[in-house]
């Protein structure tokens, strides 16, 4: 099953604000500050959408770079019929889908081989500020399992899952982005969550062996506290 990627220049959902239109106009005139602002605002979402299609970090980055070039070259065509975010997202999805089709054509007659690069998954953020390396490691293990489970979803479900769960778009925003009915978004999200849940349940057991670590600095603090109380007789 293939996900339909809509025409980026034809959407009529979620009109942008006047400030967003002004920013787009500045970027269309190659204003460096406006271009940088647009990239900063949309970079993470666009990368993850490209990554959801291509499942490869390097390919997603290349696709995103080409999508930006196409978008900024055609910004004069941005009429404000959709939000800038939706417009950019659709260009990115189209570029990623085009690359995926080319990649499949090249590999059609090749023998399937494990590709280590394809196993590099979207780097989900981990909260900073933790001084507990054991807890950080546990978080990374769990996130890695979520990333792997996401990566194995069929593309139509993966796109909806990334948009709704990872990017936090609403049902209506996801429907507009992917040119789907809201009911289709809900159905695909339900099935995607079920598939991810099943994968996690199959793999989470070994990870839970190391869950709730009480070692490292926390263990040291407890030890020192016990020793202090022993020395004072309390």
Q: Which domains does the chain have, with CATH numbers?
A: 1-108 (1.10.1740.10), 127-234 (1.10.10.10)
The pLDDT value given to residue 209: 56
Specify the higher pLDDT residue, 212 or 174: 174
Rounded mean pLDDT, 70-85:
87
For residue 152, give the DSSP letter.
T
Please say if the pLDDT value at position 121 is more than 70. no
- For residue 65, what pLDDT is reported? 92
pLDDT class for 37, splitting at 50, 70, 90? Answer: very high
Q: Is the dihedral of CA 157, 159, 160, 166 positive or negative?
A: positive
The pLDDT value recorded for residue 207 is 56
More confident residue, 41 or 203: 41
3-state helix, strand, coil in the chain (%, to 5): 70, 0, 30
Q: Whole-angstrom Cα distance, residue 133 to residue 135?
A: 5
CA distances from 50 to 57, 111, 213 (A): 9, 25, 35
> What is the average per-residue pLDDT within 121-147?
65
Q: What is the mean pLDDT of residues 11-17?
A: 58
Q: Are 82 and 176 in contact (CB under 8 A)?
A: yes
pLDDT at 87: 92
Token reading at 26: 């500045």
7-21, 120-134, 193-207, 220-234 — most confident range: 193-207
Residue 153 has pLDDT above 80, yes or no: yes
Q: Lowest-confidence range among 4-8, 17-21, 98-102, 224-228?
A: 4-8
Q: Which of 43-47, 107-111, 133-137 has the highest mean pLDDT?
A: 43-47
CA geometry: angle at 127 spanning 121 and 132, to 5°? 105
Q: Where does the pLDDT of residue 228 fall: very low under 50, low under 70, confident under 90, or very high at 90 and above?
A: confident
């Amino acid at each position: 099953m293939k996900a339909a990627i809509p025409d980026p220049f034809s959407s009529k959902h979620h009109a942008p604000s006047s400030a967003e239109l002004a920013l787009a106009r500045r970027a269309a005139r190659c204003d460096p500050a406006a271009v940088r602002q647009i990239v900063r605002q949309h970079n993470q979402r666009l990368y993850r959408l490209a990554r959801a299609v291509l499942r490869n970090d390097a390919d997603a980055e290349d696709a995103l770079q080409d999508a930006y070039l196409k978008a900024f070259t055609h910004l004069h065509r941005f009429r404000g019929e959709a939000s800038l975010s939706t417009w950019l997202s659709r260009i990115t999805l189209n570029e990623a889908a085009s690359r995926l089709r080319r990649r499949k054509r090249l590999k059609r007659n090749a023998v399937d081989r494990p590709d280590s690069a394809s196993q590099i998954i979207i780097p989900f953020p981990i909260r900073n500020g933790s001084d507990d390396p054991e807890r950080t490691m546990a978080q990374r293990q769990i996130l890695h399992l979520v990333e792997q489970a996401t990566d194995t979803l069929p593309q139509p479900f993966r796109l909806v899952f990334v948009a709704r769960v990872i990017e936090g778009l609403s049902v209506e925003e996801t429907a507009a982005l992917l040119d789907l009915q809201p009911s289709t978004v809900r159905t695909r999200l339900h099935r995607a969550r079920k598939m991810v849940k099943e994968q996690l349940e199959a793999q989470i057991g070994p990870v839970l062996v190391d869950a709730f670590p009480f070692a490292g600095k926390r263990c040291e603090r407890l030890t020192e506290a016990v020793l202090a109380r022993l020395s004072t007789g309390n």
